């Protein structure tokens, strides 16, 4: 009983804190050309903002416009950081299974009825079954690739 309440609290806390982060590829700023282009664009956008007068409402708008200017300049010049995929077999179908599981869990948290519990367990079982199948297919393909490279004595691709 305590574990169920703790899990519900944890899920509701996660749902409240969920927001998307935009991570910029800051390593590109090490390149001189990209850095200079970013600096010139930011300074030109800040020069346009200096014409605003003082005031609390204007300061809030100025801060929002500064934030948006920095974000757009960074997107255009630096680009977003691409996340590394750790599991090569993970595809859109797997992502769909994860999303369905998250929705079923949120339904169970909102209404802890037996039907929602059963639905959650069924979806979890199907997702893990699918993940095992995908992993097995990926490993089988890798083994076949290694065998063919070994047969043709292609050591570099082993």
Between helices 92-110 and 114-151, what is the axis angle to 10°?
160
Note the pTM of the prediction, 2 decimals: 0.53
Whole-Å CA distances, 67 to 8, 58, 64, 74, 82? 35, 14, 5, 11, 22
Q: Name the residue with higher pLDDT: 59 or 120.
A: 120
Residue-wise pLDDT for 59-100, tens only, equals 777 778 888 888 888 888 888 777 677 888 988 999 999 999
Q: What local confidence, expressed as pLDDT, does residue 134 receive?
A: 96
The secondary structure of the chain in percent helix, strand, coil, rounded to multiples of 5, reads 75, 0, 25
Q: What is the pLDDT of residues 123-155, one digit of tens each?
A: 999 999 999 999 999 999 999 999 998 888 877
**Confidence band for 17, pLDDT divided at 50, 70 and 90:** low
């Amino acid at each position: 009983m305590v574990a169920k309440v703790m899990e519900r609290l944890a899920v509701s806390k996660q749902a409240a804190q969920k927001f998307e982060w935009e991570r910029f590829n800051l390593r590109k700023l090490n390149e001189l050309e990209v850095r200079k282009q970013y600096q010139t664009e930011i300074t030109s956008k800040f020069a346009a903002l200096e014409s605003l007068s003082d005031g609390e409402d204007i300061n809030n708008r100025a801060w929002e416009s500064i934030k948006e200017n920095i974000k757009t300049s960074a997107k255009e010049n630096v680009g977003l950081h691409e996340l590394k995929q750790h599991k090569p077999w993970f595809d859109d179908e797997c992502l769909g299974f994860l999303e369905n599981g998250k929705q079923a869990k949120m339904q169970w948290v909102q209404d802890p009825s037996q039907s929602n519990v059963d639905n959650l367990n069924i979806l979890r079982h199907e997702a893990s079954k699918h993940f095992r199948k995908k992993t097995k297919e990926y490993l089988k393909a890798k083994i076949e690739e290694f065998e063919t490279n070994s047969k043709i004595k292609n050591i570099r691709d082993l």
